[in-house]
Amino acid sequence: MNLLKIALLQIAPCGTLSGNLEKGIKCCKKAKEMGADIALFPEMWSNGYNIYDRPVDEWKKEAIPANSDFVNSFGNLAKELNMAIGITLLEKYDKNLRNTLVLFDRFGERKLTYAKVHTCDFDVERNLTPGEDFYVATLDTDCGQVEIGAMICYDREFPESARILMLKGAELILVPNACPMEINRLSQLRGRAYENMLAIATCNYPKDVPDCNGGSSVFDGVAYLPESEGSRDTCILQAGEKEDIYIAELDLNQLRNYRQKEVHGNAYRHPKKYTLLTDTKINRPFIRAYHRD
C-alpha cells in the first residue's frame, strides 16, 4: 500500500514567538521519529491564535512576515528532517495582516503560501486581510507526488472552498484550525471530503487552549469499496481532547482508484446551471454589517 503519513500537531502554544518556535521544532522532530511525511500545525501557531479578548493594537504587533526567521526555520527543518511542514502564522503583509499557512516540502522549498479567504469578519478577524485565492501544489514525498491544497478553519464552512481545490486537482486538503470541533463542524469536514472525493486533514489546538477542544481529524473521502456492502466510515483519524501528536495513514492508491471510478467530484456536474453562485448580491436574511467582498 502507498501510505502517506500525516502528523497533526495538536499542541498548546507557549505564549511567546521564541517559545512556539522551540516547541514547534521539537514536535516536528518527534513527528519525524513517528514516521511522518507531513507535519501540520494548528491555526496561527506563531502567536497561538491569541487575538481574542486583547486590544487589537497589542496583538497586531505580534505579526511576522512570511519570510521571517521564524517561518524560514521550519523550511530549514523540513530539509533537515526530509519531511514536509505546514507552519501557520499571523502574517505581516505589506501594511496589513493575514492568517496564513506556509507549506515547505521535504527539501525545504516553499511550495504553497495560503492566506485564509473566509476571515471571521463577524468578530476580531475583520482586522485581517482575506486571501485572494485557493492554491494547489505538487508535493514530492516518499510516497511519490501528491497534490495538496489548503483551507483554514472557517473556510471549511463554505463548500466552494473545497470544491475549487478539487477542481484545481487537490487530493489532500490541509486545514489548520482554532475552534471547538463539535459534531456539526466535523460533519462539514466529512461532507467536503465525501462530495469532492479527496482527503481532508484538520489540526486543532487541544482542550486546554481557550475555545478549543482537540478533535483533530482526517477524512479520506472514500465512501465505498468494491468488497464492502454499503458505505464505510471515511474518518481514518479522530483525536481526543489532549495535547499530543496524532498520525494518520492515508492510502493514496485506494483514494486514487476511488477517484477514477466513483460518481462525485467533477464527474457529473452541470456548471452552466450554477451561474447564480457568482452573483455578489446579498438578500435578506443574510445581510450583515461587516460583510466585505
d(CA 7, CA 203): 9
Q: How many CB atoms lie within 10 A of CB 153?
A: 24
DSSP-based three-state secondary structure for 148: strand
| Per-residue pLDDT, 168 | 98
How high does pLDDT run on average in the chain? 97
Residue 223, C-alpha cell as written in the block:
465512501
- Other beta carbons less than 10 A from residue 142's beta carbon: 13
| Interatomic CA distance for residues 207 and 228, integer angstroms | 36
- pLDDT surpasses 80 at 1: no
User: How far apart are alpha carbons 247 and 237 in whole angstroms?
Assistant: 8
> What's the mean pLDDT in 279-291?
94
Written as nine digits, the cell of 168 is 484545481
User: Mean pLDDT, to the nearest integer, of 17-31?
Assistant: 98
Residue 239 to residue 40: CA distance in whole angstroms: 14
Residue 226 has pLDDT above 90, yes or no: no
pLDDT grade for 228, boundaries at 50, 70 and 90: confident
In this prediction, residue 237 carries a pLDDT of 98
Q: How confident is the model at residue 79 (pLDDT cuts 50, 70, 90)?
A: very high
Taking the C-alpha atoms of residue 204 and residue 42, their distance in angstroms, rounded to an integer, is 5
Question: 78, 85 in Cβ contact below 8 A?
Answer: yes
Distance CA 19, CA 25 (A): 10
Cβ-based neighbours of 268, under 8 Å, separated by 6 or more: none
pLDDT beyond 80 at 271: yes
Query: Sorting pLDDT into bands at 50, 70 and 90, what band is 293?
Result: confident
Q: Are 87 and 24 in contact (CB under 8 A)?
A: yes
**Grid coordinates standing for 81?**
528532517
- Cβ atoms of 28 and 81 within 8 Å: the answer is yes
Query: Count of H helices and E strands in the chain?
Result: 6, 12
Mean pLDDT of 97-126: 98
